[in-house]
């Protein structure tokens, strides 16, 4: 650049150079173009009205919304995944022909290039029959519906219908004119069979009837039976009907067999050519396939080209049984057992009642015996029938019985004013409580069951509540007598202390303690009499500890459970009574040892003196000689 240019000229030159270079850079930058909205695939490309079409394509807006149009009619909308569209729609009513399918991007407001779908004409025929397992019976009439879709625009089609009965005979109708297809290509109509068909058309045979629209455009079939259904449940009624028995005074046998055995048979007379009968399925009917057959019992009788015979099934159906166990006050009985037995008295279910007294079952329809028990004691049997799909509520009252309690002490004397408490056997739930009268009696009226009965009383001596006895009672009858023997109450207790040689120890101190909870409580401390005895009367038995003291020292301890009046011997082997005075055996041995030594020493001295005297005498005798 020329150094002689002015500053202003330099700036102008630089700006012009920038404008010239910028387009050159643009040539080398990556080019960004919009993705057109497109349909890449349509499946299928032809078919009748109602065909499901899958569209695969793209829109320009990531995760944008789209709409699918068929011949300008909105048929589906949705949201793309990124830019991808993969969706389905059903072909609406249109006359036969080719139609455009387009994809529309709602954000960019752009349409795809149209893709063609060809609507084809379709023909349909349908017999209107009862919903399964119901079925048409002999002599019934029915509607036959016919329609066309994708037909020619503004056209009325004439339907040629045929019905072929089970014997192969064909009946026809060519009078059904369908509605105008207008601009939808859809026309329809219906006709009644056998009324609107050719002479002789009927539904007098069991089996399958074939129907056709213009012979081959559309075909279908329907069935005619003897029974009003092909499946039944227990308790339901099988209605049987047969027609075209036209002989004078004609009678037939209606037989139902199961596994080759006849379980129902009835002789029926025809009325205006119609045979009607019914069989109520019993609660204990076997599940499986049954066969119903109609045969002549008069001569001459009607002979049909197709035998009147048909099978049906008895199938399982369930019902709900809701059982509530309550007491006489309508309060729930918890944990009662409810058992369900079938007609063969096989147990099929059992449950415990919940906190509200309910035990609910889902059982097969049928007859049941319901047993209610507490602690396995039966208190009610109820016979019920459960119709199919029913909900049956059963309320059972657990009986209340009286428990006649008599409480006696260790001597079997009536124990008055002691507390008696009744608990549920399976827990610590308090049922009732009270005090015995002056005859030792108390009565409780409570529901049947198993109970824990506790007799207890407060002891001022022990400063504690004392359990006198506890027993189990099965209350399964009214006015049940219960005698509770409190063997530990009102006990006479004596302790005899003896020495090593079995001699009574007088003046010994005997301390008597009873266990209360985890502690030992002193109830008496006495000195033995000359006969070695200490006695306590009218005490409460239980766990006792006996401690004997001699000369201020503990001589022995013994523990025992006292449950009856008794005397116990407390032998102290390390003492002996000498002259009414107890000595420890070790002292006695010491004294005896000293006495023996002294005696031996005395004997030795005496022997020595005698020996000396003898020797002296002998010496004097020798000298005298």
**DSSP structure class, residue 590:** H
Residue 276 in contact with residue 304, Cβ under 8 Å? no
Which range, of 221-225, 287-291, 561-565, averages the lowest pLDDT? 561-565
Question: Measured between alpha carbons, how far is 432 from 442 in angstroms, rounded to an integer?
Answer: 11
**Percent of the chain residues topping a pLDDT of 90:** 81
Residue 14 has pLDDT above 70, yes or no: no
Vertex 118: Cα angle to 113 and 119 (nearest 5): 130
What is the separation of C-alpha 18 from the centre of its chain, rounded to a whole number of angstroms? 87
Residue 163 has pLDDT above 50, yes or no: yes
Is-cis flag, bond preceding 300, omega within 30? Answer: yes
Residue 293 has pLDDT above 80, yes or no: yes
- Each residue of 308-344: pLDDT tens digit? 999 999 999 999 999 999 999 999 999 999 999 998 8
Task: Identify the pLDDT of residue 529.
Answer: 94
Task: Identify the pLDDT of residue 191.
Answer: 97
Residue 218 in contact with residue 125, Cβ under 8 Å? yes
- Each residue of 561-614: pLDDT tens digit? 999 999 999 999 888 888 777 888 766 567 667 777 777 777 877 777 777 777
- Residue 620's pLDDT band, with cuts at 50, 70 and 90, is confident
Residue 314 in contact with residue 285, Cβ under 8 Å? yes
Residue 32 has pLDDT above 50, yes or no: no
Residue 397 has pLDDT above 90, yes or no: yes
Task: Identify the pLDDT of residue 29.
Answer: 42
Residue 34 has pLDDT above 60, yes or no: no
pTM value?
A: 0.63
Residue 113 has pLDDT above 80, yes or no: yes
- Each residue of 448-485: pLDDT tens digit? 999 999 999 999 888 889 999 999 999 999 999 999 99
Closest CA to 387 of 227, 228, 237, 286: 237
Task: Identify the pLDDT of residue 1.
Answer: 45
Residue 361 in contact with residue 209, Cβ under 8 Å? no
Task: Identify the pLDDT of residue 26.
Answer: 42
Question: Measured between alpha carbons, how far is 346 from 10 in angstroms, rounded to an integer?
Answer: 114
What is the separation of C-alpha 212 from the centre of its chain, rounded to a whole number of angstroms? 53
Closest CA to 50 of 191, 158, 147, 161: 147
Task: Identify the pLDDT of residue 27.
Answer: 44
Out of 2-6, 130-134, 604-608, the most confident range is: 130-134
- Residue 24's pLDDT band, with cuts at 50, 70 and 90, is very low
Task: Identify the pLDDT of residue 10.
Answer: 58
Question: Measured between alpha carbons, how far is 533 from 526 in angstroms, rounded to an integer?
Answer: 10
Is-cis flag, bond preceding 44, omega within 30? Answer: yes
Task: Identify the pLDDT of residue 583.
Answer: 81
Question: Measured between alpha carbons, how far is 501 from 583 in angstroms, rounded to an integer?
Answer: 12
Average pLDDT over residues 186-211: 98
Average pLDDT over residues 205-224: 97
Element (H or E) spanning 618, and its range?
A: helix 585-624
Task: Identify the pLDDT of residue 15.
Answer: 54
Task: Identify the pLDDT of residue 31.
Answer: 43
- Report the mean per-residue pLDDT for the chain: 91
Closest CA to 91 of 102, 112, 72, 75: 75
Strands 218-225 and 136-137: parallel
Residue 625 has pLDDT above 80, yes or no: no
Closest CA to 281 of 299, 258, 247, 301: 258
Quick one: CA dihedral 169, 174, 175, 180, positive or negative? positive
Question: Measured between alpha carbons, how far is 262 from 291 in angstroms, rounded to an integer?
Answer: 9
Average pLDDT over residues 71-92: 97
Task: Identify the pLDDT of residue 81.
Answer: 96
Closest CA to 201 of 226, 166, 168, 172: 172
Closest CA to 433 of 446, 414, 447: 446
- Each residue of 539-555: pLDDT tens digit? 999 999 999 999 889 99
Q: Which domains does the chain have, with CATH numbers?
A: 38-120 (2.60.40.10), 122-225 (2.60.40.10), 231-314 (2.60.40.1930), 318-394 (2.60.40.10), 400-485 (2.60.40.1120), 491-584 (2.60.40.1120)
Residue 8 has pLDDT above 60, yes or no: no
Closest CA to 505 of 565, 579, 558, 566: 579
């Amino acid at each position: 650049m020329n150094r002689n240019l002015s500053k202003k000229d330099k700036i102008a030159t630089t700006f012009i150079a920038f404008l010239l270079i910028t387009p050159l850079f643009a040539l080398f930058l990556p080019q960004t173009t919009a993705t057109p909205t497109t349909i890449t695939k349509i499946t299928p490309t032809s078919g009748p009205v109602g065909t499901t079409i899958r569209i695969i394509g793209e829109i320009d807006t990531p995760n944008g919304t789209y709409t699918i149009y068929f011949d300008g009619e909105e048929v589906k909308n949705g949201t793309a995944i990124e830019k991808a569209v993969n969706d389905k729609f059903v072909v609406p009513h249109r006359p036969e022909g080719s139609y455009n399918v387009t994809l529309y991007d709602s954000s960019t407001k752009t349409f795809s290039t149209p893709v063609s779908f060809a609507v084809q004409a379709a023909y349909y025929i349908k017999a209107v029959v009862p919903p399964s397992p119901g079925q048409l019976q002999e002599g019934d009439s029915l509607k036959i519906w016919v329609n066309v879709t994708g037909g020619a625009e503004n056209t009325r089609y004439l339907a040629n219908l045929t019905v072929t009965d089970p014997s192969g005979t064909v009946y026809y109708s060519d009078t059904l004119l369908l509605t105008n297809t207008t601009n939808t290509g859809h026309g329809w109509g219906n006709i009644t069979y056998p009324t609107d068909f050719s002479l002789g058309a009927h539904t007098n045979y069991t089996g399958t009837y074939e129907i056709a629209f213009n012979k081959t455009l559309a075909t279908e079939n329907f069935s005619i039976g003897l029974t009003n259904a092909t499946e039944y449940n227990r308790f339901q009624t099988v209605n049987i009907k047969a027609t075209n028995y036209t002989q004078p005074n004609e009678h037939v046998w209606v037989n139902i067999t199961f596994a080759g055995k006849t379980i129902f048979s009835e002789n029926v007379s025809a009325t205006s050519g119609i045979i009607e009968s019914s069989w109520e399925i019993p609660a204990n009917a076997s599940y499986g396939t049954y066969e119903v057959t109609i045969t002549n019992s008069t001569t001459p009788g009607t002979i049909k080209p197709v035998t009147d015979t048909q099978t049906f099934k008895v199938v399982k159906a369930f019902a709900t049984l809701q059982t509530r166990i309550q007491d006489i006050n309508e309060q729930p009985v918890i944990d009662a057992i409810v058992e369900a037995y079938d007609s063969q008295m096989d147990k099929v279910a059992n449950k415990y009642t919940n906190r509200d007294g309910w035990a609910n079952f889902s059982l097969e329809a049928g007859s049941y015996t319901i047993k209610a028990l507490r602690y396995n004691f039966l208190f009610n049997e109820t016979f019920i029938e459960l119709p199919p799909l029913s909900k049956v509520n059963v309320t059972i009252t657990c009986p209340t019985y009286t428990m006649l309690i008599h409480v006696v002490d260790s001597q079997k004397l009536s124990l008055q004013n002691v507390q008696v408490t009744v608990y549920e056997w399976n827990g610590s739930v308090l049922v009732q409580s009270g005090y015995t009268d002056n005859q030792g009696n108390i009565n409780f009226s409570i529901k049947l069951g198993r109970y824990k009965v506790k007799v207890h009383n407060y002891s001022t001596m022990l400063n504690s509540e004392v359990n006198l006895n506890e027993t189990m009672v099965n209350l399964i009858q009214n006015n049940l007598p219960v005698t509770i023997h409190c063997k530990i109450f009102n006990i006479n207790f004596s302790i005899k202390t003896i020495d090593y040689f079995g001699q009574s120890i007088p003046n010994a101190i005997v301390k008597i303690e009873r266990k209360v909870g985890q502690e030992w409580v002193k109830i008496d401390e006495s000195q033995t009499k000359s006969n070695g005895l200490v006695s306590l009367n009218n005490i409460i038995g239980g766990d006792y500890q006996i401690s004997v003291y001699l000369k201020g020292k503990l001589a022995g301890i013994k523990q025992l459970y006292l449950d009856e009046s008794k005397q116990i011997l407390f032998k102290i082997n390390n003492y002996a009574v000498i002259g009414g005075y107890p000595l420890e055996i070790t002292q006695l041995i010491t004294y005896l040892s000293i006495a023996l030594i002294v005696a031996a020493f005395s004997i030795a001295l005496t022997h020595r003196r005698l020996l000396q005297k003898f020797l002296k005498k002998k010496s004097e005798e020798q000298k005298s000689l």
